[in-house]
Amino acid sequence: MSLKFSSAADRLMDKANMLKSKDLYPFFRQIGDSEGTVVKIDGRDQIMIGSNNYLGLTHHPHVKEAAIKAIEKYGTGCTGSRFLNGNLTIHEELEEKLATYLGHEKALIFSTGMQTNLGALSAICGPRDCMLFDSENHASIIDASRLAMGTTFKYRHNDMESLEEQLEANIDRFQKVIIVADGVFSMTGDIANLPEMVRLAEKYGAYIYVDDAHGIGVMGEKGAGTMNHFGVTDKVHLNMGTFSKSFASIGGVLSGDAETINYVKHLARSFMFSASMAPSAVATVSACIDVINEDDTLHEKLWDNVQFMRNGFQEIGFYTYNSQTPIIPIFIGDDVKSMLVTKFLSDHGVFATPVVPPAVPKGEALIRTSYMATHSKSELTKVLEVFAKAKKEFDLPSTMGH
């Protein structure tokens, strides 16, 4: 007998079943094989522009070799938490390496990015504290606020006047106020206005926590993050990142001053009560940092590809939210049309992902595209050709107002 769910959940499942019946369901597509920039779906090759593999390191020979050697030395898993039997030498070596790379005093690695936010924010925000959230923050930050004992208020997306209003209203009401925002926003590719955020934090005596899941590895010098991009690393109190994007693996990192990181290490439940990162995952991240430090062309290739696609979409006439990152969203508007376009792209050899409410506001469905350093120009040219056909086929808008 099936469990009974709410009417809202029933409506969600009805919509999913309707999309499946019309062959428009775009989720859980089975990838049979992958070469990084090309994946195989139902036996057919598709150019992948729907991943977060920004540096294309998932198939790099040095990275793969490091993962294999780690398995040979340590086995496939740690079978316990860092607190008990799961603390390997390579865990602590990676933390030192990441602290140096990011420019902070200390770093702590978690088994997933989601666990990093859940553990860190719930640890640092107590009953007498307050967090101020950007309205477009990632779901993991929203879930973290539900675990934290403190109060949460939102400010309008990347609107520093709105943030200042919240600071003025709350700075004297709480023991500490923490501004929490994505460094790079995952759906639209917006970059947080960190310089102004820093100015306001200093003015009011607040703290800054940046979720840089889509920023580390990409933004700043050698990918040292959004805080490095703006030259404010020493002004960001805590910086979070994930390894499931540029670092070709899975896991998360929190960096900051040694005292705070040590505090989180002993208070964050998602760290204390989770098995530690698998040896192969740790070695993968470490090898990625080696490649990043040694290959000066990696970021040049990435940004060259991003500019190529940005110019191409502009020539076709798409609205791309003025994105300045490897995430280039294509505004569609209508939910169902975004599904139709996704299927059209797939049928023509392009793997992209639709984004619909509640991930974006109602009426603002989009196709999220993202690019890698390893995409070839011939692959990207084909993607633009297919998108140009889709624009004519579906009369896709050139502005948010159509």
* Paired tokens of 5: 């769910």
* Phi, psi angle pair for 58, to nearest 5°: -65, -20
Catalytic residue among 104, 138, 245, 375: 245
Q: Is 186 an active-site residue?
A: yes
Catalytic residue among 111, 122, 140, 186: 186
Q: What is the DSSP letter of 320?
A: -
Interatomic CA distance for residues 30 and 23, integer angstroms: 14
Beta strands in 51-114 (DSSP E): 106-110
Contact 86, 93 (CB under 8 A): no
Interatomic CA distance for residues 231 and 289, integer angstroms: 20
Contact 127, 105 (CB under 8 A): no
Considering all CA atoms of the chain, what is the largest pairwise distance in Å, rounded to the nearest integer?
A: 61
Catalytic residue among 214, 237, 265, 391: 214
Q: Which helix (H) or strand (E) holds 144?
A: helix 139-147
Contact 338, 27 (CB under 8 A): no
Q: Is 176 an active-site residue?
A: no
Q: Is 245 an active-site residue?
A: yes
For residue 373, the cross-strand partners are: none
Q: Which residues are catalytic?
A: 186, 214, 245
